[in-house]
Amino acid sequence: MYAVVDVETTGGKYNEEGITEIAIFKYDGNKIVDQFISLINPERPIQPFVVQLTGINENMLRNAPKFYEVAKRVVEITDECTLVAHNASFDYRMLSTEFSRLGFTFERPTLCTVALSKKLIPEQASYKLGKLVRALGIPLSDRHRAAGDARATVKLLKLLLDKDVSKSIVKEVLKTKEHDQVKRKFLQLVDQVKGVTGVYYLHNQKGDVIYIGKSTNMRKRVNQHFTGKSRKALKLQLETHAVSAEETGSELIALLKEIEEIQLHKPKHNRVHKNDRIRFGLEEGVNAGGYRFLRIVHAQDGGTYVTTFKNLPNARKVLYFFAQKYTLCLNLVGLESAIDGCSYVQINKCLGACIENETTTPYNQRVKECINRMSFPAPNLLLIDKGRTHDERSIILIQNNDYKGFGYVDLNYQINNIEVVKTIITPMKNTRAARHLIQQFIRKGKVKQLINLDESS
């Protein structure tokens, strides 16, 4: 079913125009089965050149209905129809704009008789409606009035349908309707997701999780999946039947939960999480001379490290930074192995620990400060961050330098006992990836508050 439409407007700046007249003919491919024609009071001035072109002036529209008074009729006559117009993008934009001003969304599949005419009736001198229909022998009365132009467009559409032996118009309508149904389905799925921080899950028809993601704006991110054109996005669009989401409030908790959930569900469209590729760790120890040293090593499951790194270049870059910041010896942090002292000795960036010119006590104190800056500031620690509501806080528990889990408490709840905290949190796995993320957030100052539970108890 087709809804052939034509609108006349006030003219003026883009998206500031108003409709002055509308005509819609409901056409089943053989005959007109319904019609709606009306002048519209646009509640804004008409440009003089438009008055000259259409003959519609403000006196004619003074007692005409306003758009909100005819909106229901427009919806009814175009329901389940493909909207057809000569230069359809203009007429469709004007209708969408008028509905948007009323706070509603107007969506219909469209066909443009300009584009169809260029395809099915090539080499015409002009594709403007008046010149085109005259060239094709189609009568046109009341040019630049909605009813006259819409009636001529109906006859043009009928001619195009007759010429369309390959049925490309029908195929396009079916394709557009199918696309519109898919689009509506995805819009409904996106509407179920809030634009807040959390973890979202895409499910197939069986309910299985096929993709897990996190975002600080889940609605926006899910919408990107459904509008993307990449191979992965198209696969997700094809397979997604439902969406679920869990709000976390805290971005760090969203990241931690995403890692754990991917490990648990192993969704088919998730690659290995980038934070699972933690390949290097920073070890500490004391050498024969009593100096504390640091070494970059390959990270092993179950190993205890000051901090971790995704790759060796990043590890060396971070260690160089902290060696300069805390005046540490490059030999004793494993970045050099010079026998006569490290290269920093020559430029007074190392105070001589590598050649025992500096005593162990001040040097080891600086190493301790460096370790505290790079790792957890205390073995028993509570990270306080945003909650899911304004009167809630999120908490993350570190016990004996291990990540134990996260939870939520009321804003005014006083937390100072590790055993009480353990009853509140949801236990989580103490993985390298989780500890790496938490340490990153602490180093970058991206949590609201840190509580040393040893000092507060």
Tell me which of 278 and 250 has the higher pLDDT: 250
Of 26, 27, 9, 14, nearest to 145 by C-alpha is 9
The string of pLDDT tens digits covering residues 175-227 is 565 556 556 677 778 888 899 999 999 998 888 999 999 999 999 999 888 88
Cα separation, 244 vs 414, in Å, equals 33
The string of pLDDT tens digits covering residues 385-409 is 999 999 899 999 999 888 999 999 8
Measured in degrees and rounded to the nearest 5, phi and psi for residue 441 equal -65, -40
| Residue 273 pLDDT exceeds 60 | no
Per-domain residue ranges of the chain: 2-174, 192-271, 280-374, 381-456
Measured in degrees and rounded to the nearest 5, phi and psi for residue 211 equal -160, 140
Of 440, 451, 444, nearest to 393 by C-alpha is 451
CATH architecture of 192-271: 3-Layer(aba) Sandwich (3.40)
Average pLDDT, the chain: 88
Going by pLDDT thresholds of 50, 70 and 90, the confidence category of residue 170 is: low
Domain 2-174, CATH homologous superfamily name and number: Ribonuclease H-like superfamily/Ribonuclease H (3.30.420.10)
For residue 274, the model assigns a pLDDT of: 52
Cα separation, 54 vs 119, in Å, equals 29
For residue 179, the model assigns a pLDDT of: 57
Going by pLDDT thresholds of 50, 70 and 90, the confidence category of residue 435 is: confident
